[in-house]
Structure 1
Amino acid sequence: MQFSVVRERLAAAASNVVMPTGAPALTCTGYVPDGVTAPCFFVAEFDVEYDKAYRRGLDAADFTARVLVGRADDKSAQQILDALLSGSGPSSLKQAIEAARGAPGERALDGAADDLQVKRVQGYRWYEHNGTQYVGAELIIHVIGRG
């Protein structure tokens, strides 16, 4: 698995969400940005378990992605974030990212991985990024691929 390719393709998959009415477009990047254009999805840290199958047959990685929403109005910001964190629906990041799994028998993320799953949401709270406060959360995305 080439981690930089996986990061970029996770961000590309996230960009397919349909934002709630009145919300600006979601900015998506595979890397932690210096400055955030809210709302923003980015892939941050990741943990890797090598050699899940013998002879470099399979690696497993958990990517932590963050979604941050501006807080001009606290309630509406949280409503936008709630829509993005829903398990299904047009604004669901889970649904948009898991659509990149491909059809049965195809590799995920346009060939960059064998499979993926959005495992959970955590850390729903206020985040400070480069001196600005946002409401946000983390998505843990499990990706498996050839070693």
Structure 2
Amino acid sequence: MASVSAVRQVLAARLATIDGLRVNEYVAGSITPPAAAILPGLGSETSTGRPAIEYDKAFGRGAHKMHFLVKVAVSTAHNEASQAELDAYLDSDGAKSLKEAIEADMDALELDDEHVADYANVPGVVHYGIIQWGNVDYLGADVHVEVLAR
């Protein structure tokens, strides 16, 4: 099975294709928005009872489904402009779309020409509003990502 770290790296590489978005594979202590971080699981505040990793989704341990949150944050200095910027990251397509960047190549997710996972899917946004990052308030969202890893 692909490691959680390898999946994070692939997701970070896909998000890094969005011009101007600062991408962290892990949660940083402080950020300069716009920024995104990748966390395994769905988070306790939005828990759906779904585990971060669902093992054995195929016979013989053939595949595992991993759930991630991509936390994205923009400035709150200009409320309307910040909402418009965040909305662009949450659009289903477009130059700033997180969904489009993550789902760019549905055939496979690869890292250094090595197969990491079969697909990544963005089923939805589980939070939109003020988030705190390093004791600073930002406007942000939590984007749910599912990955089928082999």
User: What interval of TM-score do these two structures reach, taking the shorter chain for normalisation?
Assistant: 0.7 to 0.9
Q: Where does residue 52 of structure 1 map in the other structure? A: 57
Q: Secondary structure at the match of 1:77?
A: helix
Structure 1 distance, partners of 2:127, 2:106, is: 25
- Equivalent position of 2:81 in the other structure: 76
8 Å CA contact 1:31, 1:42 repeated in 2: yes
1:32 deviates by: 0.9
> Contact 1:101/1:109 (CA < 8 Å) preserved in 2?
no
Structure 2 residue 101 is the aligned partner of structure 1 residue 96: yes
Q: Deviations over 1:76-102 (max 9, x none)?
A: 111100001000111111111111434
- 2:148 matched residue in structure 1: 144
Matching residue's letter, 2:16 = S
Counterparts of 2:93 and 2:104, CA distance in 1: 11
Structure 1: gaps of 5 or more residues = 19-24
TM-score by length of 1: 0.87
SS in 2 for 1:52: coil
In structure 1, the partner of 2:45 is none
Aligned to 2:32: 37
Matched length: 136
The AA in structure 2 aligned to 1:40 is A
Which residue is equivalent to 1:129? 133
Q: Which runs of 5+ in 2 are unaligned?
A: 42-51
The alignment-based identity, stated in percent, is 33
Is the CA contact (8 Å cut-off) linking 1:10 and 1:109 kept in structure 2?
no
- Which runs of 4 or more aligned residues in structure 1 lie more than 2 Å from their structure 2 counterparts after TM superposition? none
Partner of 2:122: 118
Q: Which residue does 2:48 correspond to in 1?
A: none
- Once the two structures are TM-superposed, the CA of residue 60 in structure 1 deviates from its matched residue by 0.5
Change (3 A) 1:136 1:109: farther
Q: What's the TM-score, normalizing by structure 2?
A: 0.85
